[in-house]
Structure 1
Amino acid sequence: MLEKTFALLNDIPGGTYVPDEKKCYDDAEIEQLSQILKRLLWAPSQIRKKLQQAGVTIIPCNFYSEIPSIEDIERSFDAPVQNFDLIFDDSGMKEFLAELHQFSHEFDPPREAIVGGSYSWEGNPFSFSDAMAYYCMIRRYRPATIIEVGAGWSTLVADLALKANGAGEIICIEPFPPEFLRGIDSVKTLIERPVQEIPPAFFNASLRDGDFLFIDSTHTVKHGSDCLHLYLSVLPRLSRSVFIHAHDIRLPATFPLNELRDKHVYWTEQYLLMAYLIDNSRTRVQYGSTYHFLRNRQQLNAFMHGRFHAGGGSLWFSQKGAPSA
């Protein structure tokens, strides 16, 4: 089955865009496949569960689909791409970045890891200006406790900064921890469970004023997701005044066309985050890697000292404690 289509795909790497005029499938084979998949669309859940265990899911494609169609995605980029500016204060964010800059000369890791379990710029998902900002945030505001929801390479950065401070500890909530996480000195607690299982009271018991809540989630807004728990249950109930981080946030922009269309990146966390921040008197956006890359690149480049590329997806905001949390 699909022999002709696979032959056409043979020399095309996965995630590559192929324009419509260059056909990469056989009509008859794809029509046959679509009929098979339609029969399975409303099949008993045990069949769909088996497919999902193999890494494949089948969902309807219609006006109400939670995953946008390729046509929807491409059409959305035909019009001017919407910018989401309501939560940003340009002058305030430039002043905040200037505050962080005083510590930026300290953070100078190698491009490639010298030993296993050590931080380097290359070969990891937490790099660019995100890493520089995290290090400088810790050095500037000296948190006693950092809770990381999603841990790994970011934890290596935090460990370096806390050691430079001479104090501080990390609590990691990470259901799939890399082995090196267990050897990081500043990690005092490792909770190998999904954050959905951690009640809001835990965060209030663990954090004090000035501490950090670092979020690097699945980025998905769906039934039972970590994002729903964090943004709708945990954050509104935080009783302490803290700094909060969210990762892979592209605001004030959307995700780029190639990631949406060709790489199945349908992350919607940033829109729930923005809804949380709009007109929220308790919060103030302080730093955004994408924001500065798009609107303030000269200052961001200076922040990096030429050590690695500017950019990234970190967004930091401060939040005042809830009086009745």
Structure 2
Amino acid sequence: MDDIDRAIEVLAACHPREIQRRGWHFQKNNYYSALNDCAFLESNRDLWDTLELPEDIDWNIEGQLATAKEVGRFVDELRDVPETGPQPGPSWDGTFHWVNGMWNNADAIVQYGLMRSRSPKRVIEVGCGWSSVLMAKALSRNEQKTHVTMIEPNPRDALLKRLPPDWTLKTHMLQRVPLDLFTELEAGDVLFYDGSHVAKAASDVNWFFFRVLPRVNPGVLIHVHDIFFPGEYPEPWIFDRCQTWNEQYLLHAFLMHNEKYRVVIANRMLAALRRDEVERAYKGVRPAIGASFWMMKT
């Protein structure tokens, strides 16, 4: 018996709540577990490693391409964005740069272009970071004044100090924000969501889909991040990080036979299906690849 086997033997004898209380989870692989079983996935690749368009959803591919061309009208404004720079901290001057590890390429281009093209009166951003920095850059060039509300339970002070002082910050988890806030969004406004990516009891993902979206008015533009249609979550995330995100599956089911929402642009999908046309629209400023998903309530 090696050290790992001995550790497993000790942990298996503990009550799961005692392990959780110390900040960890420990459970045996089994059919009912919500966690990915890497051995099962490796031996059954044909069940998941595909690039097929999910069925029974109107993907609006031509409309997506039109959105890419729409945002492409503003890519020249991003040519001055530096490739690299410091992370938010004492030496950071608030400048957005491409290699930030979180928000770049097509995701940044589309967000910037939609903020410029649609010029929303209100934006609610759930989950703040580099996307907030780029949004501030875009909105500063619009004639329309935009009221921005940020919902971020773990804000970074260095980042917040560089954002417009009139933006409203709510340091609560999404589930504790009054739902009336979301009914204030009107047609043309934006709901930008980048949360935990995990649907489970009392999670922000469940709250967003089951409590927030029903209260959003028609015409509101809605963003969800880290969506990889027509493929799966990235293989390194599954096998190297042993990461079990499932928000994409919930979104998949949500969109099936759903005529109340129209796909505006799915960055990973459009790059997979119409890469050359998207690259032309973005004029080579950055690669077309991304993982943002935008839809509109109709």
CA spacing shift, 1:76–1:170, aligned 2, 3 Å = farther
C-alpha deviation, 1:186, in angstroms? 6.8
Residue in 2 that maps onto 1:159:
136
Q: Deviations over 1:46-95 (max 9, x none)?
A: x223331xxx3112321100102122221332456343433312222112
For the pair 1:62 / 2:36, whether they are aligned, the reply is no
Unaligned 5+ runs, structure 1: 1-26, 321-325
* Greater RCO structure (CA 8 Å; 6+ sep): 2
1 CA distance for matches of 2:216 and 2:272? 31
Q: Deviations over 1:89-130 (max 9, x none)?
A: 222211221222212222221112374321110123011110
For the pair 1:30 / 2:8, whether they are aligned, the reply is no
SS for the counterpart of 1:164 is: coil
C-alpha deviation, 1:318, in angstroms? 0.8
Return 267-276 or 29-38, whichever deviates more. 29-38
CA spacing shift, 1:110–1:49, aligned 2, 3 Å = same
Residue in 2 that maps onto 1:91:
62
Q: Of 77, 91, 101, which residue of structure 2 is paired with 1:106?
A: 77
For the pair 1:184 / 2:163, whether they are aligned, the reply is yes
Residue in 1 that maps onto 2:89:
none
Residue in 2 that maps onto 1:3:
none
Residue in 2 that maps onto 1:214:
192
Return 91-100 or 194-203, whichever deviates more. 91-100
CA spacing shift, 1:132–1:71, aligned 2, 3 Å = same
For the pair 1:71 / 2:36, whether they are aligned, the reply is no
Q: Which has the larger radius of gyration?
A: 1
1 CA distance for matches of 2:259 and 2:47? 33
How many pairs were matched up?
Answer: 287
Q: Deviations over 1:28-58 (max 9, x none)?
A: 3333222222212xx162x223331xxx311
C-alpha deviation, 1:187, in angstroms? 5.1
C-alpha deviation, 1:146, in angstroms? 0.7
For the pair 1:81 / 2:49, whether they are aligned, the reply is yes
For the pair 1:273 / 2:251, whether they are aligned, the reply is yes
Q: Of 241, 264, 286, which residue of structure 2 is paired with 1:286?
A: 264
Q: Percent identity?
A: 28
C-alpha deviation, 1:231, in angstroms? 0.3
Q: Deviations over 1:168-227 (max 9, x none)?
A: 13110001112222431275200001001113221113x121100000011001111100
C-alpha deviation, 1:312, in angstroms? 1.6
**Contact kept in structure 1, 2:221 and 2:295, CA below 8 Å:** yes
C-alpha deviation, 1:152, in angstroms? 1.4
**Contact kept in structure 1, 2:193 and 2:222, CA below 8 Å:** yes
Residue in 2 that maps onto 1:229:
207
The amino acid across from 2:76 in the alignment is H
2 CA distance for matches of 1:118 and 1:30? 46
2 CA distance for matches of 1:29 and 1:96? 55
Q: Deviations over 1:289-325 (max 9, x none)?
A: 11122111112222433333331210000112xxxxx
C-alpha deviation, 1:236, in angstroms? 1.6
Structure 1 length-normalised TM: 0.83
2 CA distance for matches of 1:201 and 1:240? 15
For the pair 1:196 / 2:175, whether they are aligned, the reply is yes
CA spacing shift, 1:307–1:78, aligned 2, 3 Å = same
Residue in 1 that maps onto 2:152:
174
Return 98-107 or 311-320, whichever deviates more. 98-107
SS for the counterpart of 2:182 is: helix
**Contact kept in structure 1, 2:105 and 2:287, CA below 8 Å:** yes
SS for the counterpart of 2:210 is: helix
2 CA distance for matches of 1:36 and 1:128? 46
* RMSD after superposition: 1.9
Q: Of 20, 36, 48, which residue of structure 2 is paired with 1:49?
A: 20
2 CA distance for matches of 1:96 and 1:243? 12
**Contact kept in structure 1, 2:16 and 2:25, CA below 8 Å:** no
Return 155-164 or 250-259, whichever deviates more. 250-259
CA spacing shift, 1:265–1:31, aligned 2, 3 Å = closer
SS for the counterpart of 1:98 is: helix
Structure 2 length-normalised TM: 0.90
Unaligned 5+ runs, structure 2: 87-91
**Contact kept in structure 1, 2:69 and 2:278, CA below 8 Å:** no
Return 173-182 or 149-158, whichever deviates more. 173-182
